[in-house]
């Protein structure tokens, strides 16, 4: 069976969130929702998450799951907000605990896997009406990265991008270019007609329109980093050389301290204010 998939593009962070639904039963899931954050004013808002809710409500969908492909370093997650609004369960890969450990000390934040409702691993299956959400563990960008496969669609997070942009960086704590290559090869072993939905699009030179849907066949044929014929050693050399030139994501410090908490903000101080920490010289 084929799920319906709607993508919601966030211009501020170039993130695509997805609303997936089983057309027969109206059961639905959201992938990688965004909590809007203005870094200049240090203000959060919920316009992006509310747009997902409005679309689901307009179609009469029943939201069951909020699926995180990993702990994002480029945007704050709207998962906790959506959970509070709908009762949907927040899902992430079981190795999130390695990410929480790596960054918990940095932010002096107490977080473990229990802040998420479901930790999933390779081979796990979640029901979505008459469809199923199959889990593939695809680490490399981060240890906790997973791909969610629903019918003919695969939601790959940051592991793969559009063919003309390539692949994710692998230099975050716990990331590894060789592991990333092997994860990508597992994704590209799916049937050629499988629809691939990516987590970001940064509009590479030569393309004028943002895009976020491709196919396994198109990635195999034309991905600029990892098309057919590119071996592991070649990919690792390219990826590591490229990664050392990349600056840290603009929102990495605000994002990670929220996202290791499943999108929840830190507890208020005794005065009632909520603070995000910016640890100096930590990256």
| Average pLDDT by stretches of 10, the chain with 283 residues | 95 97 98 97 97 98 98 97 98 96 85 94 97 98 97 98 97 95 98 98 94 98 97 98 96 95 94 93 85
CATH, range 4-247: 3.60.15.10
pLDDT in tens, 17-61: 999 999 999 999 999 999 999 999 999 999 999 999 999 999 999
DSSP-assigned letters across all residues of 161-209: --TTT-B----STT--HHHHHHHHHHHTTS-TT-EEEESB----TT--S
CA 104, chain centre distance (Å): 19
pTM for the predicted model, two decimal places: 0.96
What are the residue ranges spanned by the domains of the chain? 4-247
State residue 219's pLDDT score. Answer: 98
125 - beta bridge partners?
134
């Amino acid at each position: 069976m084929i799920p319906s998939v709607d993508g919601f593009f966030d211009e501020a962070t170039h993130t695509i969130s997805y609303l997936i639904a089983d057309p027969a039963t109206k059961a639905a899931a959201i992938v990688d929702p965004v909590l809007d954050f203005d870094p200049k004013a240090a203000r959060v808002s919920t316009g992006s998450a509310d747009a997902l809710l409005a679309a689901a409500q307009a179609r009469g969908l029943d939201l069951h799951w909020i699926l995180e492909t990993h702990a994002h370093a480029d945007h704050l997650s709207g998962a906790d907000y959506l959970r509070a609004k709908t009762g949907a369960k927040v899902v992430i890969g079981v190795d999130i605990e390695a990410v929480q450990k790596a960054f918990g000390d940095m932010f002096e934040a107490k977080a473990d896997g229990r802040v998420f409702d479901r930790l999933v691993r390779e081979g796990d299956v979640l029901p979505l009406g008459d469809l199923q959400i199959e889990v593939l563990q695809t680490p490399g960008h981060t240890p906790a990265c997973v791909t969610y496969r629903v019918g003919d669609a695969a939601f790959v997070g940051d592991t793969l991008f559009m063919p003309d942009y390539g692949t994710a960086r692998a230099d975050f704590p716990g990331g590894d270019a060789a592991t990333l290559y092997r994860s990508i090869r597992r994704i590209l072993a799916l049937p050629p007609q499988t629809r691939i939905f990516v987590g970001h699009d940064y509009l590479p030179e030569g393309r004028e329109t943002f895009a976020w849907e491709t196919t396994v066949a198109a990635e195999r044929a034309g991905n600029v980093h990892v098309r057919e014929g590119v071996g592991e050693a070649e990919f690792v050399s390219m990826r590591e050389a490229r990664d050392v030139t990349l600056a840290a994501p603009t929102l990495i410090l605000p994002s990670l301290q929220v996202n290791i908490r499943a999108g929840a903000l830190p507890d208020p101080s005794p005065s009632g204010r909520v603070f995000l920490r910016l640890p100096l010289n930590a990256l």
